[in-house]
Amino acid sequence: MRIFRELWHDEAGVILSAEAVVLGTVGVVGLTAGLSTIASSVNSELQDLAFSIRSLDQSYEIQAQYGCGSYTAGSCFEQEPVEESLAILCDIARKADQDEKEARAEAAKTQRLERQIQKRKAAERRKKAQHDKEAGVETEQAPQNETEQPTEPSTEKAN
């Protein structure tokens, strides 16, 4: 019992625990920001690599071969101009960025709508509970937090 009482009155451990929580939080936030920056940098470098590879001229021509009564056909490939293909790559990158921004905006819009729906449901539950209280009808306890959901579905019938 004495050890428990000493531990209970020891405040040095509390300070260390609070410091550990703060340092852990700062570390997680810093790690998240760092990983986001790294992902962005890697994407940028890969895009630069794609542009540099595309800038290489890969055109070729092999002449036909004649000899000893046989013939081998020649072959050739002429690459499209670098400016055109780089413009296509830029359009693809721009479209990918735009699609990503639109997806983020859509996700944010969906989250806002879900929060509004939760707030309206909470307001309706409070209003119904108030109405039932005024009418003298006992009901389930409504959740105090607007985002908190009831643990069991309500079995009451609507009037």
For the stretch 17-64, pLDDT in tens is: 778 888 889 999 999 999 989 998 998 899 889 888 888 888 889 999
Q: How far apart are CA 145 and CA 126, in angstroms?
A: 11
Task: Look at residue 88 and tell me if it is in a domain.
Answer: yes
Task: Look at residue 121 and tell me if it is in a domain.
Answer: yes
Mean pLDDT, to the nearest integer, of 74-84? Answer: 87
Task: Look at residue 26 and tell me if it is in a domain.
Answer: no
Task: Look at residue 106 and tell me if it is in a domain.
Answer: yes
Number of domains in the chain: 1
- Higher per-residue confidence, 85 vs 15: 85
CB 39 within 8 A of CB 66: no
Strands 60-62 and 75-77: antiparallel
For the stretch 99-138, pLDDT in tens is: 999 999 999 999 999 999 999 999 999 999 888 888 876 6
Q: Which residue range(s) make up the domain with 116?
A: 84-136
